[in-house]
Chains A and B, each alone.
Chain A
Amino acid sequence: MRRVYLDNVATTPLLPEVREAMKPYLGEFFGNPSCIHDWGDAPREAMELARSQVAKLIGANPEEVIFTGSGTESNNFAIKGLALAQQNKGKHVVVSAIEHFSVLHSAKTLEKWGFELTLVPVDKYGVVNPEAVRKSLRKDTVLVSIMHANSEVGTIEPIAEIASITRQNNVLFHTDAVATVGTIPVDVKKLGVDALSLAGNQFYGPKGVGALWVRKGVRIMPLLDGGVQEGGRRAGTENIPAIVGLGKTAELAKADMATRIEHLTPLRDRLLAELPAKIDHVVVTGHLQNRLPGNASFCVSFIEGEAMLMLLNSQGVAVTSGSACTSRALKASHVLIAMGLSHELAQGSILFSLGLNNNPEDVDYVLEVLPPIVDRLRQMSPLYAKFTRTSKGGN
């Protein structure tokens, strides 16, 4: 049976070149980069090379890059660390309603610590209106965090526009760029942000490593106390093999980005156009133009996403869904609900996230196997029965 991985939003496969680059640091070069003896040299040099590779990918200075253990850690660090470092100035933070839980829940934790939180809404395409951000700002606002793109619906946010507003108002602006760094061009200067999160496993690097870029001169309170690793901002012995992998994957992403986008976009566009053409009552979620190159997300009426996911899996296809039943918390995707979708429609969420390994035949295969799956589940669905009765019965 054909096996088609279309869940690159969950994680991407490690590139062979990246794995090879990591290997020596899982073997011979096991030393601790903090050590002064010879064993510390190679890991330290490799780590600093990785730092400059990551910095180059986002147009930053290497000394502004702090390695972390994940995108989630980077987001926690940014939200809590930047807010706490400025709490004498004010205690109000602003985030969008569709942020990743590592931002949203960090902001809720700040609320428990005495901060006030404003959630900025999005429109039906998942776009944050910069004017809504402007209106949310108060005298005591110390931090705004809006994601660069939402990986669930693919929408890319107007970060540069929002940044010009935060700058005018002298408020720090963090962006969660986990979905975009390594996938589309990201330049911290062009975006105009003050801090930016990224993660290795979202662009063919290893898991367990991320980075937070913080503009020089911006104060941040460390989350982890201990040694003086990462300039005293993130204590703990560094995960050298993963950091090396992150650096290597950043270098490759910078070199190959245009080719990758050219590869992914037509595959995505075929799914976006042909699935709704093949299956009735399917809607594309997210913005149609300002969209991540590998993201094809839909809601299928009258059926539930987890059941679709399981039947696709039985045909060798890996996808994800934002349905309540798919989430461990059994709640429908907060992103889809914030975009104004009904719970019923959100239940039919399905997300194809394409990657470098996909090809046109994979798209053909999905277009072949999904329609009968949808049909099978609809034949089982009381909602579909009601719909056909009322539409055919002319009632």
Chain B
Amino acid sequence: MPIYSEKVMEHFMNPRNVGEIENPDGVGEVGNPVCGDMMTFYIKVKDNRLEDVKFKTFGCGAAIAVSSMVSEMAKGKTLEEAQKITPQLVADELEGLPKNKFHCSNLGAQALNKAIKDYLKKKPKGGGKK
């Protein structure tokens, strides 16, 4: 049996939303090269919704598939909905991840959350961004 599910392979081979956003509303970076994986998420927010989500990832096949899946799951969601995306939900959507890779590669939800927090911190109080 191959180590990765078909869904993981599909996202690895054709990752969605790769790239950076110019003047992003929020940026979240997690991981480091020593543990193997590093992800940066960029978000654009409009009316409390994730209008655009992009990522860059340094890491294994699973890390790239996770990033792609998270970006797809998050896009269009409200911030509150997007914050509810957990590593387990991402793994489930990917039809499973190898056990030993669950923690190190599954940083996408964390990176997205960090980007949302970054946005919320920067956001002027009382009003949304134009």
Contacts and interface: CB of A to CB of B under 8 A. Distances in A.
Interface of A: 302-304, 306-307, 310, 314, 323-326, 328, 330, 332, 342-344, 347, 379-385
Interface stretch (B32-40, B73-81, B82-90, B119-127): B32-40
Contact of A347 (B13, B36, B39): B36
B60 A325 contact: yes
A306 B58 contact: no
B35 A324 contact: yes
A52 B15 CA distance: 56
A307 B64 contact: yes
Contact of A306 (B33, B57, B60): B60
Contacts of B37: 304, 325
Interface in B24-73: 29, 33-40, 56-64
Contacts of A382: 29, 38-40, 56-58
Interface of B: 12-13, 15, 18, 20, 29, 33-40, 56-64, 100-101, 104-105
Contact of A304 (B13, B34, B36, B101): B36
Contacts of A326: 60
A324 B37 CA distance: 9
Nearest to B67: A380
Given A307-B63, A344-B33, 12 more contacts: A302-B58, A307-B60, A307-B61, A324-B36, A325-B59, A325-B61, A330-B36, A343-B34, A381-B56, A382-B29, A383-B33, A383-B38
A378 to B, nearest CB: 9
A343 B63 CA distance: 17
B61 A310 contact: yes
A343 B33 contact: yes
A326 B12 CA distance: 15
Contact of B59 (A307, A328, A342, A379): A307
Contacts of A344: 33-34
Contacts of A324: 35-36
A323 B40 CA distance: 20
A324 B59 CA distance: 10
A380 B15 contact: yes
A380 B20 CA distance: 9
A304 B63 CA distance: 10
A330 B105 CA distance: 11
